[in-house]
Structure 1
Amino acid sequence: MTTEAPPAATLRTDARHNRDRIVETARRLFAAKGLDVTLAEVARRSGVGIATLYRRFPTKEALIIEAFTEQFAECASVVHRALDKPDPWQAFCSVVETVCAMQAVDKGFAAAFVSTFPDAIPLDDERLYLDSGFDELVQRAKDAGKLRPDFDRNDLALLLMANGGITAESPEAAVAASRRLVAFLLHSFRADLVDPEVPLPPPAPLDLRHLVCPPPD
């Protein structure tokens, strides 16, 4: 007796379901534990073999990108709306506040956000837009005399590191703590509070992706 092979359409449907399950599982695990989750754990929690996962996502970076597609789009939207704001200081603050609020409830988000900057993962137009958009917001706020002139791009990494260290018993508490921390930090970024006789130490040579994005499996 011979057994007929499943129709091609059924195989395509099963493959699509496996892929969707892998992405959804990865999204949940990255949010709960950060990006140190292994591909083996993602496969096990998804109910698929590791070989199946690698057929869909040959590298961990590929899975990270897919899992955070919605967050990438939201980041782009946040920057786009900020660039349309007439007040440069409010525009800068809105991006920092929104990104930090997103990070507070998703442990993997800092890595996803930093991945939009050069050399983190392969760039596309959206990531280039985010990169140049944030630089423009910083420069506008400085030109308007609102953002302290010694603010450096690496200070964004420093801010995200501080915000990412928040621990709380619930997402609501984490967001509340993040909101207060960010308010303190934004207050310190104001140009009108700079004391020229008390300069800051030089910017730290931070590269946040090396702290939150472990090498792929």
Structure 2
Amino acid sequence: MRIAEIEVTRKPRTDAELNRRHLIAVARAAFADEGLDLPMREIARRAGLGIATVHRHFPARTDLVTAALAELVAECRGEMQASLDEPDPWRALSGAVHSFAEHRLHDRGLNQALFGSHPAAAAFAVDRREQASAMEQLVDRARESGAVRPDITAADVRVCLSAIASFRLAHSATHLHRLVELLLIGLAADDRTSPETSARRQAIP
């Protein structure tokens, strides 16, 4: 094959991959903010591409949702690994809880798909189990180090995450951050909280 032919072949492939990555980025932002019911034509319009191009890369809506979820799951996996690598058990656990809350704010529609009954969620069942197992490790480390109350279990932290997941986003982000702070106050041992958190703990009956 001539060099010119190689270059011509490579360019369409490169353009196709760029279009695919662009579509996933646009879809992730749209699904996260507005939910999964957004029409594919609207995704195409926002991406500046034709609907035929969208369907060439993602024949069905579920294919595009799965691709967007894959990026979210990869991001969550990296954040959890960072928490596992964090030497301070309290920072590791509280950081993981804060990361969960941030995804609740910024990846709303995708979170509902990932933890709900959407068909695309089935592909990530193993990832969800691994994340749950990693969270249990963080809780065990925090309890063994005295960073949290001695009676705290992974089930207690799951209750906290459920409270975050069910938070009504009609309220402001400030309210969600306040909820996270109060939940962490309930988990933390007295000597592991910041001065601000300690003051808030004392103010709660």
**Alignment of structure 1 residues 24-173 onto 2, 5 Å:** 24-108=25-109, 110-111=111-112, 114=115, 120-123=121-124, 129-142=130-143, 144=146, 146=149, 148-149=152-153, 151=156, 153=158, 155-162=160-167, 165-168=169-172
Q: 1:182 aligns with which of 180, 183, 186?
A: 180
Partner in structure 2 of residue 171 of structure 1? none
Could you tell me which amino acid in structure 1 is paired with residue 134 of structure 2?
G
CA shift, 1:120, in A, is 2.7
Question: How has the CA–CA distance of structure 1 residues 38 and 136 changed in structure 2, closer, same or farther, with 3 Å as cutoff?
Answer: farther
Question: How has the CA–CA distance of structure 1 residues 122 and 16 changed in structure 2, closer, same or farther, with 3 Å as cutoff?
Answer: same
Distance in 1 between the 2:97 and 2:164 partners? 9
Could you tell me which amino acid in structure 1 is paired with residue 177 of structure 2?
R
Question: How has the CA–CA distance of structure 1 residues 77 and 9 changed in structure 2, closer, same or farther, with 3 Å as cutoff?
Answer: closer
Q: Which has the higher helix share?
A: 2
CA shift, 1:182, in A, is 0.7
Question: How has the CA–CA distance of structure 1 residues 18 and 101 changed in structure 2, closer, same or farther, with 3 Å as cutoff?
Answer: closer
Question: How has the CA–CA distance of structure 1 residues 123 and 31 changed in structure 2, closer, same or farther, with 3 Å as cutoff?
Answer: closer
Distance in 2 between the 1:156 and 1:124 partners? 18
SS at match of 1:148: coil
Partner in structure 1 of residue 194 of structure 2? none
SS at match of 2:63: helix
How large is the Cα RMSD of the aligned pairs?
3.5
* Conserved 8 A contact 2:113-2:121: no
Partner in structure 1 of residue 3 of structure 2? none
**Could you tell me the percent identity over the aligned residues?**
34
Distance in 1 between the 2:135 and 2:39 partners? 31
Could you tell me which amino acid in structure 1 is paired with residue 162 of structure 2?
A
SS at match of 2:16: helix
User: TM-score, normalised on structure 2?
Assistant: 0.63
**Unaligned runs of at least 5 residues, structure 2:** 1-7, 191-205
* Conserved 8 A contact 2:100-2:161: no
SS at match of 2:122: coil
Distance in 2 between the 1:185 and 1:85 partners? 21
Distance in 2 between the 1:123 and 1:135 partners? 19
CA shift, 1:133, in A, is 0.8
Distance in 2 between the 1:180 and 1:155 partners? 13
* Conserved 8 A contact 2:90-2:142: yes
User: TM-score, normalised on structure 1?
Assistant: 0.61
Of 8-17 and 26-35, the range deviating more from structure 2: 8-17
Could you tell me which amino acid in structure 1 is paired with residue 100 of structure 2?
V
